[in-house]
Amino acid sequence: MFNFLRPRQPVRASGPAIPPGMRVYAIGDVHGRLDLLDRLLDAIANDDATRESTEVRLIFLGDLIDRGPQSREVIDRVLALKDNDIDVAVLRGNHEEVFQLVLDGDEEALRFFNRIGGRETILSYGIDAEFFACAELPELQAALIENVPARHIQLLRECEDMVEIGDYLFVHAGIRPGTALDQQRTADLRWIRGGFLDFEGSHPRMIVHGHTPSAEIEWRSNRIGVDTGAYESGVLSAIGIEGAERWALSTALETV
């Protein structure tokens, strides 16, 4: 069964803050795990209900898709949130980047997509597993393009590369240290690891990111890593931020 946890992580009373009158929940890499996303959204709703009423924004840190079995359904859920007038931002992860290239007709991107968990995304759009195994790339690509709804393509095109709120910057992978925020390369924002994860100096903002999985949320002096490897670990995590306070929420899969 699933438990909702508020880990005993440090709750900040000073330091980086977002403007008053709002609460932000940043959600780590979902990777096709609709089961975990629904439970985390319930946990977020329950958490929000215990706090004073204010403007709430959900930020998905990218990599909604691939690896897990329900990528299409995850995108449907995000669209449903938007349809219910919930303030939702979706960052473009490296997996969304590659998927968009595939849908734009890039055959080499499809070859790469299949190596990084894209098979599960393709199957979630109704492509038969036997057809996937036997089809030539152009045939597979044409079938996929035909099966992806226009609203999904629109959501992918509208993904953002960064969201800045107060003293926080939300990105998928990270930033290049020493480079001004308005000069960051999209390749770094979506793919960076080396040079960012091990950097111990200060950044212009507190960086909240996904992309690199860890066993638990990483609370560092200059960054917060929220990817807890949901597709494999069964743990999808988020952080909440209000003023200078921040806290963690996650789903944990118990084995009996």
Q: What is the pLDDT along the chain (256 residues), one digit of tens a residue?
A: 233 444 434 455 568 999 999 999 999 999 999 999 999 999 999 999 999 999 999 999 999 999 999 999 999 999 999 999 999 999 999 999 999 999 999 999 999 999 999 999 999 999 999 999 999 999 999 999 999 999 999 999 999 999 999 999 999 999 999 999 999 999 999 999 999 999 999 999 999 999 999 999 999 999 999 999 999 999 999 999 999 999 999 997 443 2
Q: How many residues does the chain have?
A: 256
Nearest one of 48, 100, 58 to 82, comparing CA atoms:
58
pLDDT score of 12: 52
Residue 166 lies in a domain: yes
Residue 30 lies in a domain: yes
For residues 127 and 151, what is the distance between their CA atoms, to the nearest angstrom?
18
CATH code of the domain containing 183? 3.60.21.10
Q: Does the CA dihedral 96-101-103-108 come out positive or negative?
A: negative
Task: Kindly report the pTM of this predicted structure.
Answer: 0.94
Residue 99 lies in a domain: no
Contacts of 38 (CB under 8 A, 6+ apart): 77
Residue 247 lies in a domain: yes
Residue 127 lies in a domain: no
**Domain of 50, in residue numbers:** 2-93+153-253
Tokens describing residue 47: 């958490």
pLDDT score of 5: 44
Whether the CB-CB separation of 122 and 110 falls below 8 Å is answered with no
The angle, 0 to 180 degrees and rounded to 10, between the axes of the packed helices 107-115 and 94-103 is 140
- Which amino acid, one-letter code, is at 253? L
pLDDT score of 254: 42
For residues 181 and 204, what is the distance between their CA atoms, to the nearest angstrom?
8
| 242 beta partners | 245
Residue 116 lies in a domain: no
DSSP 182: G
Whether the CB-CB separation of 226 and 237 falls below 8 Å is answered with yes
The angle, 0 to 180 degrees and rounded to 10, between the axes of the packed helices 94-103 and 150-158 is 130
For residues 33 and 131, what is the distance between their CA atoms, to the nearest angstrom?
23
- Number of structural domains the chain divides into: 1
pLDDT score of 252: 76
Residue 7 lies in a domain: yes
pLDDT score of 256: 28
DSSP 234: S
pLDDT score of 13: 52
pLDDT score of 29: 99
Residue 133 lies in a domain: no
